[in-house]
Structure 1
Amino acid sequence: MLYCKDCQLLCEQECPQCGSRSLRKPQANDPVLLGVFEPAIAFGVESILKDNHIPYEKFGNLGAAVTLYVGTAMETYRFFVPYGEYRKSVSLVEELTGPAEPSQEHE
Protein backbone atom coordinates (compact mmCIF):
# COMPACT_ATOMS: atom_id res chain seq x y z
CA MET A 1 0.00 0.00 0.00
CA LEU A 2 1.24 3.47 -0.89
CA TYR A 3 0.15 6.90 0.33
CA CYS A 4 -0.98 10.04 -1.49
CA LYS A 5 0.04 12.89 0.80
CA ASP A 6 -2.18 15.39 -1.03
CA CYS A 7 -5.43 13.39 -0.73
CA GLN A 8 -4.44 11.45 2.40
CA LEU A 9 -5.48 8.16 0.81
CA LEU A 10 -3.95 4.72 0.68
CA CYS A 11 -3.47 3.61 -2.93
CA GLU A 12 -1.94 0.84 -5.01
CA GLN A 13 -0.23 2.56 -7.96
CA GLU A 14 -2.19 5.75 -8.60
CA CYS A 15 -4.34 7.96 -6.36
CA PRO A 16 -8.00 7.33 -7.25
CA GLN A 17 -8.90 10.92 -6.34
CA CYS A 18 -6.21 13.09 -7.96
CA GLY A 19 -4.54 10.60 -10.32
CA SER A 20 -1.09 11.25 -8.87
CA ARG A 21 1.59 8.59 -9.21
CA SER A 22 3.87 10.47 -6.78
CA LEU A 23 3.08 8.12 -3.94
CA ARG A 24 5.25 7.04 -1.04
CA LYS A 25 5.30 4.50 1.73
CA PRO A 26 3.01 5.71 4.55
CA GLN A 27 4.51 6.82 7.86
CA ALA A 28 2.91 5.94 11.22
CA ASN A 29 1.59 9.47 11.82
CA ASP A 30 0.31 10.17 8.29
CA PRO A 31 -3.42 10.99 8.40
CA VAL A 32 -5.37 8.46 6.33
CA LEU A 33 -9.02 8.62 5.28
CA LEU A 34 -10.88 6.04 7.37
CA GLY A 35 -14.19 6.66 5.64
CA VAL A 36 -17.12 8.96 4.92
CA PHE A 37 -20.15 8.42 7.15
CA GLU A 38 -23.69 9.71 7.55
CA PRO A 39 -24.51 11.40 10.89
CA ALA A 40 -25.97 8.34 12.64
CA ILE A 41 -22.96 6.18 11.82
CA ALA A 42 -20.50 9.04 12.40
CA PHE A 43 -21.67 9.28 16.01
CA GLY A 44 -20.88 5.58 16.54
CA VAL A 45 -17.53 5.82 14.74
CA GLU A 46 -16.54 8.80 16.88
CA SER A 47 -17.52 6.93 20.06
CA ILE A 48 -15.55 3.82 19.09
CA LEU A 49 -12.43 5.83 18.25
CA LYS A 50 -12.65 7.77 21.52
CA ASP A 51 -13.25 4.62 23.58
CA ASN A 52 -10.17 3.00 22.03
CA HIS A 53 -8.01 6.13 22.44
CA ILE A 54 -7.41 6.44 18.71
CA PRO A 55 -6.67 10.01 17.62
CA TYR A 56 -8.82 11.21 14.72
CA GLU A 57 -9.96 14.24 12.79
CA LYS A 58 -13.56 14.64 11.67
CA PHE A 59 -14.64 17.03 8.93
CA GLY A 60 -18.14 17.80 7.72
CA ASN A 61 -18.52 18.03 3.96
CA LEU A 62 -21.25 20.69 3.81
CA GLY A 63 -19.80 23.23 6.21
CA ALA A 64 -21.36 24.92 9.21
CA ALA A 65 -23.44 27.51 7.34
CA VAL A 66 -25.14 24.95 5.08
CA THR A 67 -25.68 22.55 7.99
CA LEU A 68 -27.37 25.32 9.98
CA TYR A 69 -29.66 26.00 7.03
CA VAL A 70 -30.57 22.45 5.93
CA GLY A 71 -29.82 20.53 9.14
CA THR A 72 -27.51 17.60 9.70
CA ALA A 73 -29.58 15.00 7.83
CA MET A 74 -27.78 15.74 4.55
CA GLU A 75 -24.31 16.07 6.09
CA THR A 76 -21.59 13.47 5.80
CA TYR A 77 -18.41 13.31 7.86
CA ARG A 78 -14.90 12.34 6.75
CA PHE A 79 -12.78 10.66 9.43
CA PHE A 80 -8.99 10.57 9.30
CA VAL A 81 -6.80 8.46 11.60
CA PRO A 82 -3.01 8.04 11.80
CA TYR A 83 -1.73 5.30 9.49
CA GLY A 84 -0.35 3.47 12.52
CA GLU A 85 -3.92 3.12 13.85
CA TYR A 86 -5.60 2.52 10.48
CA ARG A 87 -5.96 -1.28 10.55
CA LYS A 88 -7.28 -1.26 14.12
CA SER A 89 -9.70 1.56 13.22
CA VAL A 90 -11.01 -0.29 10.16
CA SER A 91 -11.59 -3.40 12.28
CA LEU A 92 -13.48 -1.40 14.92
CA VAL A 93 -15.64 0.37 12.32
CA GLU A 94 -16.44 -2.96 10.63
CA GLU A 95 -17.71 -4.26 13.97
CA LEU A 96 -20.12 -1.31 13.98
CA THR A 97 -21.13 -1.18 10.31
CA GLY A 98 -20.24 -4.55 8.83
CA PRO A 99 -17.51 -5.24 6.25
CA ALA A 100 -16.60 -2.34 3.99
CA GLU A 101 -17.05 -2.57 0.24
CA PRO A 102 -13.84 -3.02 -1.76
CA SER A 103 -13.52 0.65 -2.74
CA GLN A 104 -13.54 3.58 -0.32
CA GLU A 105 -15.85 6.52 -0.91
CA HIS A 106 -13.82 9.64 -1.68
CA GLU A 107 -14.95 13.22 -1.41
Structure 2
Amino acid sequence: MERCQTGRKGGERDKVMYCEKCKRIFEEEKCPVCWHSQVREPEPGDLCFLTEQDYVSSGILEDVLKQDGIPYLRKDVMGAGMAIKVGPMLDRGRFYVMYEKLTDAQAVVDELFTGIREEAGQPADQE
Protein backbone atom coordinates (compact mmCIF):
# COMPACT_ATOMS: atom_id res chain seq x y z
CA MET A 1 0.00 0.00 0.00
CA GLU A 2 1.19 3.48 -0.75
CA ARG A 3 1.51 4.94 2.69
CA CYS A 4 0.74 8.51 3.49
CA GLN A 5 3.44 10.38 5.41
CA THR A 6 1.77 13.00 7.52
CA GLY A 7 4.68 14.38 9.52
CA ARG A 8 7.25 16.85 8.22
CA LYS A 9 10.08 18.88 9.72
CA GLY A 10 8.94 21.66 11.99
CA GLY A 11 5.45 20.18 12.35
CA GLU A 12 4.46 21.03 8.75
CA ARG A 13 1.93 18.73 7.15
CA ASP A 14 1.48 18.04 3.47
CA LYS A 15 -1.99 18.09 2.02
CA VAL A 16 -3.41 14.59 1.74
CA MET A 17 -4.96 13.84 -1.65
CA TYR A 18 -7.33 11.16 -3.02
CA CYS A 19 -7.43 9.54 -6.46
CA GLU A 20 -10.96 8.62 -7.52
CA LYS A 21 -9.60 6.32 -10.22
CA CYS A 22 -7.58 3.90 -8.06
CA LYS A 23 -8.86 4.91 -4.61
CA ARG A 24 -5.40 5.71 -3.17
CA ILE A 25 -4.41 8.26 -0.53
CA PHE A 26 -1.13 10.15 -1.04
CA GLU A 27 0.57 13.54 -0.70
CA GLU A 28 1.75 14.22 -4.26
CA GLU A 29 -0.08 16.33 -6.85
CA LYS A 30 -0.54 13.27 -9.11
CA CYS A 31 -1.45 9.77 -8.06
CA PRO A 32 1.82 7.82 -7.66
CA VAL A 33 0.08 4.58 -8.70
CA CYS A 34 -1.91 5.45 -11.84
CA TRP A 35 -0.49 8.96 -12.53
CA HIS A 36 -4.01 10.37 -12.69
CA SER A 37 -3.81 14.15 -12.22
CA GLN A 38 -7.45 14.83 -11.35
CA VAL A 39 -7.16 14.34 -7.61
CA ARG A 40 -8.87 15.99 -4.66
CA GLU A 41 -8.85 16.08 -0.89
CA PRO A 42 -10.47 12.97 0.61
CA GLU A 43 -13.91 13.07 2.20
CA PRO A 44 -14.95 10.86 5.15
CA GLY A 45 -17.07 8.49 3.01
CA ASP A 46 -14.53 7.99 0.21
CA LEU A 47 -13.66 4.36 -0.44
CA CYS A 48 -9.86 4.01 -0.03
CA PHE A 49 -7.52 1.19 -0.98
CA LEU A 50 -6.20 -0.52 2.15
CA THR A 51 -4.21 -3.56 1.04
CA GLU A 52 -4.01 -6.55 -1.28
CA GLN A 53 -3.58 -9.97 0.33
CA ASP A 54 -3.38 -13.60 -0.74
CA TYR A 55 -6.40 -15.88 -0.29
CA VAL A 56 -5.59 -17.09 3.22
CA SER A 57 -4.51 -13.67 4.53
CA SER A 58 -7.66 -12.14 3.02
CA GLY A 59 -9.81 -14.47 5.08
CA ILE A 60 -7.92 -13.59 8.25
CA LEU A 61 -8.15 -9.86 7.55
CA GLU A 62 -11.88 -10.09 6.79
CA ASP A 63 -12.51 -11.79 10.12
CA VAL A 64 -10.55 -9.21 12.13
CA LEU A 65 -12.11 -6.23 10.34
CA LYS A 66 -15.56 -7.67 11.12
CA GLN A 67 -14.62 -8.22 14.77
CA ASP A 68 -13.35 -4.63 15.03
CA GLY A 69 -16.52 -3.24 13.42
CA ILE A 70 -14.64 -1.74 10.46
CA PRO A 71 -16.79 -1.81 7.30
CA TYR A 72 -14.85 -2.88 4.21
CA LEU A 73 -15.21 -3.92 0.59
CA ARG A 74 -13.25 -6.89 -0.72
CA LYS A 75 -12.69 -7.29 -4.45
CA ASP A 76 -11.14 -10.51 -5.65
CA VAL A 77 -8.48 -9.85 -8.29
CA MET A 78 -9.23 -12.83 -10.56
CA GLY A 79 -12.99 -12.90 -10.24
CA ALA A 80 -15.22 -15.92 -9.69
CA GLY A 81 -14.87 -17.45 -13.17
CA MET A 82 -11.09 -17.54 -13.15
CA ALA A 83 -10.98 -18.69 -9.52
CA ILE A 84 -13.16 -21.68 -10.46
CA LYS A 85 -10.71 -22.65 -13.23
CA VAL A 86 -7.42 -22.23 -11.34
CA GLY A 87 -8.64 -22.59 -7.76
CA PRO A 88 -9.31 -19.93 -5.16
CA MET A 89 -5.92 -20.34 -3.43
CA LEU A 90 -4.26 -18.41 -6.27
CA ASP A 91 -6.64 -15.47 -5.97
CA ARG A 92 -5.84 -12.26 -4.13
CA GLY A 93 -8.22 -9.90 -2.36
CA ARG A 94 -8.08 -6.11 -2.54
CA PHE A 95 -9.53 -4.38 0.49
CA TYR A 96 -11.10 -0.93 0.58
CA VAL A 97 -12.37 1.03 3.59
CA MET A 98 -13.95 4.43 4.06
CA TYR A 99 -11.44 7.24 4.55
CA GLU A 100 -12.73 7.90 8.06
CA LYS A 101 -11.79 4.30 9.01
CA LEU A 102 -8.52 4.08 7.06
CA THR A 103 -6.22 4.76 10.03
CA ASP A 104 -7.95 2.12 12.17
CA ALA A 105 -7.93 -0.41 9.33
CA GLN A 106 -4.25 0.25 8.54
CA ALA A 107 -3.40 -0.39 12.20
CA VAL A 108 -5.15 -3.78 11.91
CA VAL A 109 -3.17 -4.66 8.76
CA ASP A 110 0.10 -3.59 10.39
CA GLU A 111 -0.61 -5.58 13.54
CA LEU A 112 -1.65 -8.71 11.65
CA PHE A 113 0.94 -8.90 8.93
CA THR A 114 4.11 -7.01 9.93
CA GLY A 115 5.38 -9.73 12.27
CA ILE A 116 4.42 -12.50 9.85
CA ARG A 117 6.30 -10.87 6.97
CA GLU A 118 9.38 -10.17 9.08
CA GLU A 119 9.49 -13.83 10.14
CA ALA A 120 9.23 -14.87 6.48
CA GLY A 121 12.14 -12.58 5.55
CA GLN A 122 9.99 -10.15 3.55
CA PRO A 123 10.14 -6.37 4.01
CA ALA A 124 7.51 -5.21 6.52
CA ASP A 125 5.89 -2.76 4.09
CA GLN A 126 5.40 -5.32 1.31
CA GLU A 127 1.74 -6.13 0.68
Distance in 2 (CA, whole Å) between partners of 1:15 and 1:60 is: 23
Q: Kindly indicate whether residue 70 of structure 2 is the aligned counterpart of residue 44 of structure 1.
A: no
Provide the residue aligned with 2:10 in structure 1: none
Letter in 1 for 2:81: A
Letter in 1 for 2:113: T
Q: Decide which of 5, 8, 11 is 2:26's aligned counterpart.
A: 11
Residue aligned with 1:67, SS: helix
Residue aligned with 1:77, SS: strand
Residue 94 of structure 1, CA deviation: 1.1
Alignment length (residue pairs): 103
Deviations along 1:3-56, one digit per CA (max 9) or x if unpaired, are 001111112222123212221111111000000000111011101110011111
The unaligned stretches of length 5 or more in structure 1 are none
Residue aligned with 1:16, SS: coil
Residue 69 of structure 1, CA deviation: 0.8
The unaligned stretches of length 5 or more in structure 2 are 1-15, 116-123
Taking every aligned residue pair, what percent have the same amino acid on both sides? Answer: 30
Q: Decide which of 97, 103, 111 is 1:87's aligned counterpart.
A: 103
The ranges of structure 1 where at least 4 consecutive aligned residues each deviate by more than 3 angstroms after the TM superposition are: none
Which one scores higher on RCO, CA 8 angstroms, separation ≥ 6? 1
TM-score normalised to the size of structure 1?
A: 0.89
The within-5 A match list for 1:25-104 is 25-98=41-114, 100-101=124-125
Letter in 1 for 2:67: D
- Root-mean-square deviation over aligned CA pairs: 1.5
TM-score normalised to the size of structure 2?
A: 0.76
Larger radius of gyration between Structure 1 and Structure 2: 2
